[in-house]
Amino acid sequence: MDQLLSPLPASSDNQLLCCYTNQTGQIQVIRISNIQNWYFERVVFPAQRLMFEAPSEAHLEVHVGSMASAILADRISCKTLQVRGEA
């Protein structure tokens, strides 16, 4: 399935390949909102794994609940979610 992706800001020198897994039984909405001029938001289903690129200073917000009353459940540094290659 193709997804429309917002390109990373041109000023992002240090980009990370990240992976987030929804380990709950609830649908989550994840969002990066601390990067100026860049919009990133995705729906992540239970047990789904999502790979994405983000600037190193980005923080992923994890929201749960209904669309009318979503609650910020977690805020994770994208550095923590970075996929590391084999050395």
Ordered by where they begin, the domains of the chain are: 16-77 (2.60.40)
Contact 62, 30 (CB under 8 A): yes
Whether this prediction's pTM lies above 0.75 is answered by yes
The pLDDT of residue 60 is: 97
Terminal CA-CA length for the chain: 31
Q: Which residue has the higher pLDDT, 3 or 28?
A: 28
CA proximity to 36, closest of 68, 12, 17: 12
Distance CA 72, CA 87 (A): 36
Q: How far apart are alpha carbons 29 and 58 in whole angstroms?
A: 16
Segment 16-59, tens digit of pLDDT: 999 999 999 999 999 999 999 898 999 999 999 999 999 999 99
Least confident of 36-40, 58-62, 76-80, 83-87: 83-87
CA 52 to chain centre: 7
How much is the pLDDT for 1? 40
